[in-house]
Amino acid sequence: MDRLRNPFAPGAGIQPPALVGREKLLEDANIDMRRVLSRRPVKSLVILGLRGVGKTVLLNRMKEDADRLGFQIAKIEAPEQGALPQLLVPELRRILFSLDLMAHAGNKVRQAMAALRNFGSAFKIAVGEIEIGMTPGPGVADTGNLEQDMPQLLIAVAEAAADSQSAIGLFIDELQYLSKKELAALVAACHEIAQRNLPLFFVGAGLPQIAALAGNAKSYAERLFNYPEVDKLPYEAAREALVVPAQREGVAFEPAAIDEILRVTERYPYFIQEWGSHVWNAAPKSPITQADVVATEPAVIRHLDANFFRVRFDRLTVLQQRYLRAMAELGPGPHKTGDISATLGVEANAVATARQQLIAKGMIWSQRHGETAFTVPLFDSFMKRQIPVLEKHLPKRRSNKI
């Protein structure tokens, strides 16, 4: 089919041609945002899901909705090494400048500017010129303790927004990469803001382990946030994800072709986009048949292995790779942690560090104590392709031969 007209959008955070199966979530968030604007209490959102299920796409869509509703928006993608204050400062600075231009801007904006300047110097972050404003009032966001200063800073900014009849939308992606301290500070800030009923709506997104991480950071976190889970698409939505974009280009799929794609992708959004895109390019004409899909399979698998899976695999040590291979031996998961080490032929504590490192890298997670699961869908079959034979983990021994 004409590659120029290929409607599919495989990638990270790329808006799909048909954003399907997430209507309820988007509608709920929209109502929450409108409640925030009318100063009614709402819980903030933390979107949880595995790699490639569409969290970033949802976060971006909610950000657009917030923008349309008149929110002032800060959006951050947490980097793996965590640097929340550094990323937050320029976003808040920009917001305060635009609040300052608003008709109702008053003293609260200046106070928030002062808090931002205090915060910047406490954490040694260049805030840039803040010409307007007063001498920073001592005592606001200036202790150097993030858990104290971040709530104070965000309260000051939210008060400034309230004073200007506006609201703040704070969007943070890849939340699992925040350090424990940063997460605790963020949760504490949301808690304080909720108690004061200030107009700040927080939306976070990340891997499913965040719920536990946030709960460990602050025990009240589970009551503070709603944690909607995004997962593989329901059957009908997955079908629409393929059919609707193709139909707009005048192209049809035979039902058996759709079934085949939904089977191999297990209805995971990212894989649907990749398969849709490859099959489109390879199929000679409409309608796309099951045979077209099957014929494309080796090329798609090669592409996914080389791009999507391989980059994750290459960042791991040999032992970490072997740990994942042992998990794959047991199937898609989740698996008992003890079974994984037994598959490797060792005691659990011999590989406990490797397991911890894999969790920190976001490769695996633990829903329940003693359980381990992949965060990347279909990673088990990739591991088997990559390492066809599982090697046991034999701690190195000295040879007895003389």
Ligand X SMILES: Nc1ncnc2c1ncn2[C@@H]1O[C@H](COP(=O)(O)OP(=O)(O)OP(=O)(O)O)[C@@H](O)[C@H]1O
Binding site for Mg ion (CB under 5 A): 55-56
Which residue is listed with tokens 């049809």? Answer: 252
**Residue 7's binding partner out of Mg ion, ligand X, none, with CB under 5 to 8 Å set by partner kind:** none
- The residue number with the shortest CB distance to Mg ion is 56
**Contact mark string toward ligand X, 250..269, x via CB under 6 A:** -------------------x
Residue 241 CA to residue 275 CA, distance in Å, equals 11
**Residue 204's binding partner out of ligand X, Mg ion, none, with CB under 5 to 8 Å set by partner kind:** none
User: Which helix (H) or strand (E) element contains residue 203?
Assistant: strand 200-206
The CB-of-230 to Mg ion minimum distance in angstroms stands at: 11
The torsion angles phi and psi of 83, rounded to 5 degrees, stand at -155, 55
169 binds ligand X, rule: CB under 6 A: no
Closer CB to ligand X, 218 or 239, in the complex: 239
Residue 197 CA to residue 41 CA, distance in Å, equals 6
Closer CB to Mg ion, 12 or 126, in the complex: 12
- Contact in structure between 135 and 173 (CB atoms under 8 Å): no
* b (16+ CB within 10 A) / e for 275-300: bbbbbbeebeeeebbbebbeebeeeb
Among 71, 270, 323, 379, binds ligand X (CB under 6 A): 270
- The closest alpha carbon to 80, from 298, 361, 307, 354, belongs to 361
The CB-of-43 to Mg ion minimum distance in angstroms stands at: 22
The torsion angles phi and psi of 169, rounded to 5 degrees, stand at -110, 115
Among 7, 32, 46, 52, binds ligand X (CB under 6 A): 52
- The closest alpha carbon to 226, from 28, 19, 20, 22, belongs to 28
The CB-of-391 to ligand X minimum distance in angstroms stands at: 29
Residues 5-44 that bind ligand X (CB under 6 A): 9-14, 16, 19-22
**Residue 14's binding partner out of Mg ion, ligand X, none, with CB under 5 to 8 Å set by partner kind:** ligand X
| 374 DSSP β-pair partners | 364
The CB-of-173 to ligand X minimum distance in angstroms stands at: 7
- The closest alpha carbon to 220, from 196, 183, 187, belongs to 187
Among 1, 7, 42, 51, binds ligand X (CB under 6 A): 51
- Contact in structure between 50 and 231 (CB atoms under 8 Å): yes
Closer CB to Mg ion, 55 or 63, in the complex: 55
The region of 54-62, 77-85, 109-117, 277-285 touching ligand X under the rule CB under 6 A is: 54-62
Closer CB to ligand X, 142 or 380, in the complex: 380
The torsion angles phi and psi of 131, rounded to 5 degrees, stand at -70, -50
The CB-of-266 to ligand X minimum distance in angstroms stands at: 13
**Residue 228's binding partner out of Mg ion, ligand X, none, with CB under 5 to 8 Å set by partner kind:** none
- The residue number with the shortest CB distance to ligand X is 54
Residue 238 CA to residue 267 CA, distance in Å, equals 6
Closer CB to ligand X, 166 or 176, in the complex: 176
- Total binding residues for ligand X by CB under 6 A? 24
What does the DSSP assignment read for 13-71?
SPPPSS--S-HHHHHHHHHHHHHHHTT----EEEEE--TTSSHHHHHHHHHHHHHHHT-
Encoded tokens for 237: 């939505």
Interface residues with ligand X (CB under 6 A) are 9-14, 16, 19-22, 49, 51-57, 241, 269-270, 272-273
